[in-house]
Structure 1
Amino acid sequence: MIHLPTAPPAHIAFDLAAWIAASLVAWRQHRAWPQGTQTLLRLTAPGYYRWLAVGALLGAWAAGTLNSWRLTWAPSHSVAGALAGGIVAVELWKARHRVRGSTGGSFVLPMATGIMIGRLGCLFAGLPDLTYGTPTALPWAVDLGDGVGRHPVQLYESAAMALFILVYVVARRRGADWARHHAFHAFAIWYGAQRFVWEFFKPYPNLAGPFNLFHLICGGLVVYGIVYWRNDRRRGAQGGALCVSQPDDEPVRNLP
């Protein structure tokens, strides 16, 4: 068993580090991959971002609070909820403006980086963070201060996102079709699938059979990624009302 020093303020420190790292990655990405160096904000209608921000915010706090209300009455937030809420909001916005095709690829690398680093904050924040794993006797079990060896589920997720980053960057540099046109769908599938597995090692209350709220959310992310990936490939062959034809990691252009 590995004894880890923990402190609740660690979460804030790692969250800040995650935001900084994600911002730097986004800046570097938009200089290296898209045509030109202009940012999404200068090329995309503000409404797109308002819907995205509101959806992510509502999803984050709704999912986190609903999941933890039986453990504590304090409001909580969740990155899985933020991702799901942002997706719902953006897809509604796109449907309203008849925008077809993926527009989320530019967010993939910054989000994956932020999650990879942010999860370390969850780990070192210790038991008060309420993201700890279930007890285990495995040699890499961590003691977060109560003398109980637990699955380091935060490290599992951080490692999974590091693996995704590695595969995605290599594929993008080689010009792989999925990395250029379906990166966000791939991200949703990978994040949802790996998080779905780790949820079995968390002591969250079950909501439907053996599944907790995040099982359902992450299962939905996987389904979303698969369905929309297939739909976008079909639309790409057939055309559409207003299709986004450039690689989905380039700035969104000419949207209402």
Structure 2
Amino acid sequence: MSGAFLHTVFDILAWLTAAAAVWWLSRQDLRFPAQSFVMPYVAALVFGAGLGAYLFGSSNLWLSGQSGIARSVEGALAGGIVAIELYKWSAGITVRTGARFALPLALGIALGRLGCYFAGLDDFTYGTPTTLPFGHDFGDGILRHPVQLYESAAMALFALLYVLAVVNRNAFVITNGFYLVLVYYGAQRFLWEFLKPYGTLIGPFTLFHLLSLSILLYAAIMLATGPKARPLHERAVA
């Protein structure tokens, strides 16, 4: 099987698993905000995510001295956040609407990164050369950090911890899950970027270093300014 075909297979699996996570959460008697399922909200999310994916993915490619068009999951995440915040501001929506997306996001990235791993060199998501015994040869005879697997494992761990929190009815984690997954994602992605052969933008930092910090900072501010989580039987999850 070709790398491109396997990448597509895992992309589909990522979307299906994310949808299954949304369904599973709906069976847990959690009252998430209805605003995150209305059509204008979904349209803004899809538009922003698509624009961000290609804008940041292609920009990173060019900064790394390569031509072409590329997509980025982190770019999609950033674009989606900006689009939703603008939509909520224009529509006068003040409730926090991201809580239901924490688990789907973590699982989607965990599976999607497996597709990036199997795509090999063409995907340009591989790591820098390494002498570690678990280095992987993507086809050019050089052992590299399989950073796709690092990120996949990290996000799978978050998903597991989040599921345990839901099962144990941890109100803080459920209410703030989206911002917690953003903090976690931004931090781990920032670390893995040091193991990628991308062109730098400021000092030793790549475009995705700066994007990771931006996502982490946004989530930290939202956590710091959010309402205190109360027991789930007292309020709807926001």
TM-score above 0.5, yes or no = yes
- Long gaps (5+) in structure 1: 238-244, 249-256
| Aligned equivalent of 2:11 | 15
Which amino acid is the alignment partner of residue 22 of structure 1?
A: A
1:32 match: secondary structure: coil
List aligned pairs for 1:27-46, cutoff 5 A: 27-35=23-31, 44-46=37-39
Corresponding residue number in structure 2 for 1:52: 45
The partner residue of 1:115 within 90, 109, 115 is 109
| Structure 2: tracts of 5 or more residues without a match | none
Alpha-carbon RMSD: 2.2
SS in 2 for 1:138: coil
Could you tell me which of 187, 193, 202 is aligned with 2:187?
A: 193
Structural mapping, 1:58-207, within 5 Å: 58-69=51-62, 70-207=64-201
| Superposition deviation, residue 128 in structure 1 | 0.7
Aligned residue in 1 for 2:236 = 246
Runs of 4+ aligned structure 1 residues displaced above 4 Å come to: none
**Contact 1:101–1:232 (CA under 8 A) maintained in structure 2:** no
**1:40, distance to aligned residue in structure 2 (A):** 5.4
Cα-to-partner distance string for 1:210-237 (whole Å, 9 max, x where unaligned): 1101111110011011101111137x89
TM-score, L = length of structure 2: 0.91
Identical columns (%): 44
String of CA shifts for 1:99-136, please: whole Å, max 9, x gaps: 22421111111111111011011001110111010000
| Residues 1:220 and 2:214 aligned together | yes
TM-score by length of structure 1 reads: 0.85
For residues 156-212 of structure 1, what are the alpha-carbon distances to aligned partners after superposition, in whole Å with 9 as ceiling and x for unaligned? 000000110111111122222321211111011001110000000000000111110
Shift of 1:7: 2.4
The 1-side partners of 2:79 and 2:19 are apart by 21
Provide Cα deviations, 1:57-82, integer angstroms capped at 9, x if missing partner: 11111010100024432211111011
